[in-house]
């Protein structure tokens, strides 16, 4: 399968290509599935960092397209990791539902990076949903002693694999409405009182939500660019 204009652009940017092989599958919940992979040499070539992600290639109506996924528990020595899929209608989720050991998938690495905030965050302020849960968990793992407030938008009753410690992490579950407005309103209401001396705001939600909250943090609350990470993980 060719990769169309997206693949051509990534090739010009000297992105790195790999082939991953499925080694196992676990249905975590009705709407969440975890696949295990060997890395095709990825983790020996590129250093691991929090919320490290790759672009997986899928086919939809005869055309290639890529989607980004966070590596879960990457092990450089073993050359393995997991990827967790939020299940919905779409070619990526459909592929994950039927994938079994021995299946392979093409991957490209470009754009993944992490700059540790300096000074260290006094509190992590995290906004996300099921699509960004693996990245959220990775961030919590990277700052094991840092308190966190997590505003998590949820659309169902799944028992998702949160890596939260009730003693340090305040997890706020917010039902998703038609346009995500409830999440935006809740964060705008509660965020100002939690900023503290060295805040770090991590927004990885739907595109419109991410834009709205990023603009609020920078323009209305005056947070410096290096204290806000904002990346849309999906588009309504």
CA-CA distance, 59 to 105, in Å (whole number)? 11
Q: Where are the beta strands (DSSP E) in the chain?
A: 16-29, 32-38, 53-60, 63-70, 72-75, 80-86, 104-109, 123-129, 148-154, 169-175, 199-204, 228-230
Is the CB of residue 105 less than 8 Å from the CB of residue 20? yes
Has residue 208 been placed in a domain? Answer: yes
Residue 91: which domain range? Answer: 4-109
CATH of the domain at 59: 2.40.30.10
Q: For the whole model, what pTM was predicted? A: 0.91
Strands 53-60, 63-70: pairing kind? antiparallel
CATH of the domain at 147: 3.40.50.80
Q: What percent of the chain has pLDDT over 90?
A: 78
Has residue 117 been placed in a domain? Answer: no
Over residues 131-180, the pLDDT tens digits come to: 999 999 999 999 999 999 999 999 877 789 999 999 999 999 999 877 88
Number of domains the chain contains: 2
Beta bridge partners of 72: 82
Has residue 80 been placed in a domain? Answer: yes
Q: 164 with 197, same domain?
A: yes
Beta bridge partners of 171: 150
Strands 148-154, 72-75: pairing kind? unpaired
Has residue 17 been placed in a domain? Answer: yes
């Amino acid at each position: 399968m060719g990769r169309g204009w997206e693949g051509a652009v990534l090739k010009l940017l000297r992105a790195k290509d790999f082939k991953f092989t499925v080694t196992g599958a676990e249905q975590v919940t009705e709407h969440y599935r975890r696949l295990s992979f060997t890395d095709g040499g990825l983790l020996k070539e590129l250093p691991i960092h929090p919320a490290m992600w790759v672009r997986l290639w899928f086919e939809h109506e005869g055309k290639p397209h890529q989607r980004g996924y966070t590596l879960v528990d990457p092990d450089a020595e073993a050359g393995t990791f997991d990827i967790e899929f939020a299940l919905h209608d779409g070619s990526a989720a459909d592929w994950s539902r039927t994938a079994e050991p021995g299946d392979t998938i093409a991957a490209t690495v470009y754009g993944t990076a992490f700059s540790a905030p300096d000074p260290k965050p006094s509190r992590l302020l995290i906004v996300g949903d099921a699509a960004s849960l693996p990245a959220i968990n990775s961030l919590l793992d990277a700052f094991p002693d840092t308190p966190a407030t997590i505003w998590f938008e949820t659309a169902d009753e799944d028992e998702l694999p949160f890596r939260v410690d009730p003693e340090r992490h305040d997890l706020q579950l917010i039902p998703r409405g038609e346009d995500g407005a409830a999440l935006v309103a809740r964060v705008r209401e509660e965020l100002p009182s939690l900023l503290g001396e060295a805040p770090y705001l991590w927004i990885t939600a739907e595109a419109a939500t991410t834009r709205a909250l990023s603009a609020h943090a920078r323009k209305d609350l005056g947070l410096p660019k290096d204290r806000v990470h904002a990346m849309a993980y999906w588009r309504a």
